[in-house]
A = this chain, B = another copy of it.
Amino acid sequence: MVVKSQLKLIKSLHQKKNRTQHGLFIVEGEKGIADALANDLVPYLLLSSQAQSAINSFEKISDRELSQISALKNPNGYLGVFRIPKQGALNFKDWVVVLDGLQDPGNLGTIIRLCDWFGVKQILCSPDTVDVFNPKVVQASMGSLTRVSVYYESIIPVIQKLKVPIYGTFMEGSPIQKITFRTPGIIVFGNEGNGISAKLSTHITEKIAISSHPASQAESLNVANAAAIVFHEMRR
């Protein structure tokens, strides 16, 4: 049986400061939880409102309790609390993706999933980027979170002394099909509304543009879609 203090703790994990304090985060959905377990994340508490489940270590919870602690509008019957894993030190021996002020949890989750698909193992986020253990990021990453390491640090001090090419998407860049991608390297994506910050822009060595159709009136590509195209070209 789940006690009130546990429900209160779980609910508190919707906020970053509490996730950091307790070293815990939420994974919702049977598949996400199974993925986390299969990837050796350490469970703290596994809860389910369903009568039957393939994973038999779930504790029973009522639908009402679940909706109190879920981060989803429509909870899906399973909620796991896991320990935030320790990760190795960031290195620049292969591709590193840098995210500069990304705000939307769905975009971060989708980019983690894309990194996993295209074999990018490290993401460096500016401190103002949405937190990777935000329940909506975890949800959108579809299990890829366990295979991609995400770091938070001030970007410029980390990258300014590196001797690797730094790619970034800009309206006025060179057409992506003419870019040569050299590894080790860094690929930077910016904030949804404002793009890459002015200060970080000065460190970009290779400006990339993804062309729209000449007749298009669309203003911009979604950042996760831009990332999909850049990663595809990088591996092409």
Contacts and interface: CB of A to CB of B under 8 A. Distances in A.
Interface of A: 73, 106, 110, 113-114, 116-119, 142-144, 147, 177, 210-219, 221-222, 224-226, 228-229, 232-233, 235-236
A219 B38 CA distance: 14
25 contacts: A106-B106, A110-B222, A113-B218, A113-B222, A114-B225, A116-B218, A117-B212, A117-B213, A117-B216, A117-B221, A118-B212, A118-B216, A119-B212, A119-B213, A119-B216, A142-B219, A143-B219, A144-B218, A147-B218, A224-B224, A224-B225, A225-B228, A226-B228, A228-B229, A229-B229
Contacts of A211: 235
A222 B73 CA distance: 21
Nearest to A211: B235
